[in-house]
Chains A and B, each alone.
Chain A
Amino acid sequence: MFAFIARRLGLLIPTFFGVTLLTFALIRMIPGDPVEVMMGERRVDPEMHAQAMERLGLNKPLYAQYFDYIGKLAQGDLGESLRTRTSVWDEFTTLFPATLELSLAALLFAGTLGLIAGVIAALKRGSLFDHGVMGISLAGYSMPIFWWGLLLIMFFSVWLGWTPVSGRIDLLYDIPPVTGFMLIDTLLSDEEGAFVDALRHLILPAIVLGTIPLAVIARMTRSAMLEVLREDYVRTARAKGLSPARVVFVHGLRNALIPVLTVFGLQVGALLAGAVLTETIFSWPGIGKWLIESIGARDYPVVQNGILLIACLVILVNFVVDILYGLANPRIRHQR
């Protein structure tokens, strides 16, 4: 097991440096003069231009610029936003809990519903329910979620008036950020009704963000379950006279969960990409919206290192999933 983890860690380091190379290259690929682009004006005063080049370190040879960049990263210096003059790391850490809360809620929604639908579809193979689940999940898989979000807003917020249109909480409430998770913070504060309000804000974005993972998980659970239910040990368990529920959940689902867990892990990248769209639609103050706004404002340090942070997050989660997979399935661990 130790060797397995070490091998995976060994793969992690070149990937990390590769990503830094990528984010480093991104900002140098800006067509035209970077200073003019960043300042948003043409014919910058030559003296100011030179100062800006100096400040951004753009006057040195490329390899030196890269080593500077890595050196700063190693010291935890991710630069500061051109707009707000606060450090990128601080902005990231204040906004990240909002994205995390949204993603966890989405995964909870997708995971529970997807597992239940997948298991029932597998048990009732070929039935109307099975065809329905498969059809809906194919549609969910093809869903442009930015449109799905607008549709839900139109139906639930505009027509029925059940849920608010945007944001995390009503402006009436003043919730001190303790954990950064609005659901927990509202419980900690003694504002009445704040928790319910936060929940109402969370529901629609979580459904929108969870739609594609839901479709993937339902399909995956169904096919994994079908596979497992054909196994000899399931027949043996049935023949032993175990209750159907025990056969399905203990002998079946537990083994079917292994591939489903991997899919869960793989969805993290998709979730973060979906968060960009979902947060834009619902004005959810997370890192997705932050990134898009920074792109609009040509705030290149934020774009560069925001992307770096997200990539690192995805790499780390995939690493953890790999390890968990190795734990669950010894055959993977001993490969190669």
Chain B
Amino acid sequence: MTTQATLDPSLFYPSPLKEFWQAFAHNKGAVAGLAFMILLVICALFAPWIAPHDPSEQYREFLLTPPAWLEGGQLQFLLGTDEVGRDLLSRLIHGARLSLLIGLASVLMSLIPGILLGLVAGFFPRLLGPSIMRLMDIMLALPSLLLAVAIVAILGPGLINTIFAIAIVSLPSYVRLTRAAVMGELNRDYVTAARLAGASLPRLMFITVLPNCMAPLIVQATLSFSSAILDAAALGFLGLGVQPPTPEWGTMLASARDYIERAWWVVSLPGLTILLSVLAINLMGDGLRDALDPKLKNAQ
């Protein structure tokens, strides 16, 4: 006699991934943010194929053409052209590449050393902790954009230096977060158990403790991704970031300033793209925080 138990699947505890998605999808803004981000990533990945024109091709007979739906607009330039006749839409699409690249690279470049330093500061609260934290306090004493400006001012403008400056600026928050989370976890029984079982220090750090500290770090990574895009655009706007003619959103705004009285689209559209991208990432960050860290949600 075989009793093949047919259990109702709804009785099982949901898989963590499904549970996470349900909590995330509960926040409508977060889903909208995610959708916009996916669009942006697709634009960035397939820019050469999606963009209708080459971003640096100058159509001399179409200087400052308004967007297609306005009087005088050309259907081949959907969002119009800039002061030297380059297609705005293509430049914005290619700009997504740069912004996402800067965001991703600077987050990785600050997340990894940030976690390492935070772990060290948390595991050695007497020996190394105070000096690491003091150093981070000093870096926090300067407003982040100003520190980034200072670093770029010394190293010179450019893509690599922009990434480097933004990575340095966002380092302290990761160190602080990791340390605080590690200090909280170290007193837990499971850590003591692992210690007694003879786990080595690297094992304790990376396999026992670190995975339990990831939730706030993931949220912070999202938030610093958005501020990286904002800071990179600000540096570009000040002429200290990625240099023209590269189609970076902030740099595009800086060169559009002179046409503010004649061509609203060259000023409005790059900025709107920055705003929407940053907003989308922030919305996603809110959703992630709600989904990953229920404690924080209830505290609000």
Contacts and interface: CB of A to CB of B under 8 A. Distances in A.
B233 interface: yes
Given A18-B135, A19-B138, A144-B230, 11 more contacts: A21-B138, A138-B279, A139-B279, A142-B275, A147-B253, A269-B143, A273-B144, A273-B145, A276-B238, A277-B238, A291-B149
A29 B149 contact: no
Interface of B: 29, 134-135, 137-139, 141-146, 149-151, 153-156, 226, 230, 233-234, 237-240, 250, 253, 257, 260-261, 264, 267-268, 270-272, 274-275, 278-279, 282-283, 300
B150 A26 contact: yes
Interface string A289-331: 0011001100000010001001100110010000000000000
Contacts of B260: 150, 153-154, 158
B160 to A, nearest CB: 12
Contacts of A274: 145
Contact of A315 (B141, B156, B239, B240): B141
Nearest to A288: B146
A138 B281 CA distance: 11
Given A22-B138, A142-B275, A280 B253 contact: no
A104 interface: no
A163 B151 CA distance: 35
B146 A307 contact: yes
A295 B235 CA distance: 12
A86 interface: no
9 contacts: A139-B279, A144-B237, A146-B250, A148-B271, A151-B268, A269-B143, A273-B145, A291-B146, A318-B141
A303 B151 CA distance: 11
A11 B283 CA distance: 36
A31 B142 contact: no
B267 to A, nearest CB: 5
B257 A150 contact: yes
Given A142-B278, A276-B238, A150 B267 contact: yes
A272 interface: yes
A276 B149 contact: yes
A31 B154 CA distance: 8
A311 B142 contact: yes
A279 B267 CA distance: 18
B282 A142 contact: yes
Contacts of B29: 138
A310 B142 contact: yes
B150 A314 contact: no
Interface string A130-159: 000000001101111011101101100010
A30 interface: yes
A27 interface: yes
Given A31-B156, A153-B260, A310 B275 contact: no
Nearest to A272: B143
Nearest to A150: B267
Contacts of A280: 237-238
A189 interface: no
A21 B151 CA distance: 14
A39 interface: no
Contacts of A30: 154
B150 A307 contact: yes
B261 A151 contact: no
Contact of B153 (A14, A148, A303): A303
B261 to A, nearest CB: 5
Given A139-B275, A144-B278, A147-B271, A277 B234 contact: yes
Contacts of B154: 26-27, 29-30
Interface in A10-43: 11, 14-15, 18-19, 21-22, 26-27, 29-31
Nearest to A303: B153
Residue of A139, A146, A277, A310 with highest tally of chain B CB at under 10 A: A146
